[in-house]
C-alpha cells in the first residue's frame, strides 16, 4: 500500500492517535512528533501516545509535552509509527487490534502490516523519512519549523548521522531540504551525539569493565544491570549512547549489549557487514533491521547470553 492511502485515511478521520513503540528512540519520537505537527497543520485533533516521562534524556530537547495524549482522550483512528509489531506498540494495543480505523507507517522489513492501511517502506532508513515524503510529496506541505526539526532528528537518529549503510542519496536530499527550511543541524547533532552529563561519562568505565569478546574477536558484548544503574541513580535511557560501543571495536562483526532489567533481559544487536542480525532477533521473537535489532528474553542473564552466543556460533 502507498502513502496516498495514508493521506485518504487521515482525511477521513478527525481525532487521531499517533502511537510509537516501547522504549522510544530518536526516530520514534521525531516521527511521531513530526506526524503530530503535520496532523495539526491539517486541522486535525491529534495526540501522541508517548508519555513525557518516557522520553529519553537525550531526546527531551525535541519533545513537545503538548503532543502527549490526555487521560481519557477519545480517538476515532490510530496510526502506529516506527513500530514493527502490534505487541511493541507503547500503548492502546488492544484498542488498535480491535479497531478497523488503523494505519501503520513504518520502515522495518519485519513489519507484517498489522493495521488496516499499511505504508511499510523498508528502503527508508528512518520512519522520519517516510513522514517527510508524506508531508512534502503527498500532502504538498514542505516541512518547516518544528515539523522540520522533528523529522531531521528522526532521520539523523536512525542513520547515526547519515552514516549507516541504510542512508541513500534521497536521504541526503531530504536532509538538504530540511537544512534549507531552516533546521539547525549542528544543534540537533550536538544534542543527539555530543552532549553528556558527567554521570554518563563516569559510568562508561563500569560498563567497559564488562566487555567480553568471543569467537576470535568477531563478537563483543557489554552487560549492564539495573543494580549498577540504581547504584548510580541513573536510567537505562541515559546510557543508550554505549549501544554501538562493542560493535565499534576493530574486527568485531556483531556487538551485543545485554541489559538486565528486573525480570527480563533485553538484548541489542549491532552488526558490521556480514551478519543480518534481524534474522537472529526474529528467531527469538524480536525484530529490527539487518544492522540493528533487539530481543527481550524472559529468563536469567546467563541463559540469555548462552542462547545468543549459541545462535551467533551458527551464523558466524
Ligand atoms: Mn526507526
CA-wise closest residue to 111 among 211, 231, 228, 21: 21
Q: In the predicted model, what is the mean pLDDT of the chain?
A: 96
Distance 102 CA to ligand 1 centre (A): 19
State mean pLDDT over 133-155: 98
Rounded-to-integer distance, Cα 266 and Cα 225, Å: 10
Distance 153 CA to ligand 1 centre (A): 11
Rounded-to-integer distance, Cα 27 and Cα 241, Å: 15
Q: What is the pLDDT of residues 257-309, one digit of tens each?
A: 999 999 999 999 999 999 999 999 999 999 888 999 999 999 999 999 999 99
- Long-range pairs for 230-238: beta carbons < 8 A, 24 or more residues apart: 232/199, 232/202, 232/203, 232/206, 233/199, 234/199, 234/200, 234/203, 235/57, 236/261, 237/23, 237/56, 237/57, 237/58, 238/56, 238/57, 238/58, 238/197, 238/199, 238/200
Distance 205 CA to ligand 1 centre (A): 29
Distance 28 CA to ligand 1 centre (A): 6
Position 156 pLDDT exceeds 90: yes
Distance 159 CA to ligand 1 centre (A): 9
pLDDT band of 1, cuts 50, 70, 90: low
Distance 289 CA to ligand 1 centre (A): 9
Position 148 pLDDT exceeds 70: yes
pLDDT band of 178, cuts 50, 70, 90: very high
Position 245 pLDDT exceeds 80: yes
**From start to end of 159-207, where are the E strands?**
none
State mean pLDDT over 213-241: 96
Angle at 149 between CA 144 and CA 150, to 5 degrees: 115
The grid cell for 112 is 507484517
The grid cell for 79 is 496510526
Pairing between β-strand 254-261 and β-strand 212-214 as defined by DSSP bridges = unpaired
State mean pLDDT over 140-147: 98
**pLDDT for 110:** 85
Position 39 pLDDT exceeds 90: yes
Rounded-to-integer distance, Cα 20 and Cα 50, Å: 7
The grid cell for 232 is 548510580
CA–chain centroid gap for 255, Å, is: 18
Say whether 47 sits in a helix, a strand or coil.
strand
Q: What is the pTM of this model?
A: 0.89
Q: What DSSP character marks residue 137? A: I
Distance 232 CA to ligand 1 centre (A): 29
In this structure, are residues 171 and 162 in contact, taking their beta carbons and an 8 Å threshold?
yes
Domains of the chain: 3-193 (3.90.1640.10), 198-315 (3.10.310.30)
In this structure, are residues 280 and 268 in contact, taking their beta carbons and an 8 Å threshold?
no
Bridge partner list, 255:
220, 270
- What does the DSSP assignment read for 226-290? HHHHHHHT--GGGGGGGTTTGGGSTT-SEEEEEEEETTEEEEEEEE-SS--HHHHHHHTT-EE-S
Distance 27 CA to ligand 1 centre (A): 5
Distance 127 CA to ligand 1 centre (A): 5
Distance 310 CA to ligand 1 centre (A): 28
Q: What is the pLDDT of residues 56-101, one digit of tens each?
A: 989 999 999 999 999 999 999 999 999 999 999 999 999 999 999 9
The residues whose Cβ lies within 5 A of ligand 1, an ion, are: 27, 82, 127, 158
Distance 81 CA to ligand 1 centre (A): 9
Distance 33 CA to ligand 1 centre (A): 13
Amino acid at each position: 500500500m502507498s502513502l496516498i492511502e495514508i493521506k485518504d485515511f487521515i482525511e477521513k478521520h478527525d481525532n487521531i492517535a499517533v502511537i510509537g513503540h516501547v522504549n522510544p528512540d530518536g526516530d520514534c519520537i521525531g516521527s511521531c512528533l513530526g506526524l503530530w505537527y503535520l496532523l495539526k497543520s491539517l486541522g486535525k485533533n491529534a495526540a501522541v501516545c508517548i508519555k513525557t516521562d518516557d522520553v529519553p534524556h537525550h531526546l527531551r530537547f525535541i519533545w513537545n509535552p503538548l503532543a502527549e495524549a490526555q487521560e481519557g482522550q477519545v480517538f476515532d483512528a490510530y496510526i502506529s509509527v516506527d513500530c514493527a509489531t502490534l505487541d511493541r506498540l507503547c500503548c492502546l494495543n488492544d484498542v488498535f487490534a480491535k479497531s478497523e480505523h488503523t494505519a501503520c507507517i513504518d520502515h522495518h522489513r519485519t513489519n507484517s502490516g498489522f493495521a488496516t492501511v499499511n505504508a511499510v517502506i523498508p528502503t527508508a532508513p528512518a520512519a522520519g523519512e517516510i513522514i517527510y515524503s508524506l508531508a512534502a510529496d503527498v500532502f504538498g506541505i514542505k516541512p518547516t519549523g518544528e515539523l522540520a526539526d522533528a523529522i531531521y532528528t528522526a532521520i539523523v537518529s536512525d542513520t547515526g548521522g547519515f552514516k549507516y549503510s541504510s542512508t541513500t542519496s534521497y536521504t541526503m536530499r531530504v536532509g538538504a531540504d530540511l537544512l534549507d527550511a531552516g533546521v539547525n543541524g549542528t544543534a540537533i547533532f550536538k544534542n543527539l551525539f555530543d552532549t553528556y552529563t558527567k554521570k554518563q561519562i563516569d559510568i562508561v568505565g563500569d560498563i567497559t569493565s564488562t566487555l567480553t569478546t568471543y569467537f576470535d574477536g568477531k563478537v563483543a558484548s557489554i552487560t549492564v544491570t539495573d543494580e549498577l544503574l540504581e547504584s548510580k541513580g541513573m536510567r537505562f535511557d541515559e546510557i543508550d549512547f554505549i549501544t554501538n560501543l562493542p560493535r565499534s571495536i576493530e574486527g568485531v562483526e556483531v556487538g551485543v549489549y545485554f541489559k538486565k532489567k528486573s525480570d527480563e533481559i533485553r538484548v541489542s544487536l549491532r552488526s558490521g557487514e556480514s551478519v543480518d542480525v534481524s534474522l537472529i532477533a526474529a528467531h527469538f521473537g524480536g525484530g529490527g533491521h539487518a544492522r540493528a535489532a533487539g530481543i527481550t528474553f524472559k529468563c536469567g542473564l546467563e541463559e540469555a547470553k548462552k542462547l545468543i552466543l549459541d545462535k551467533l556460533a551458527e551464523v558466524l
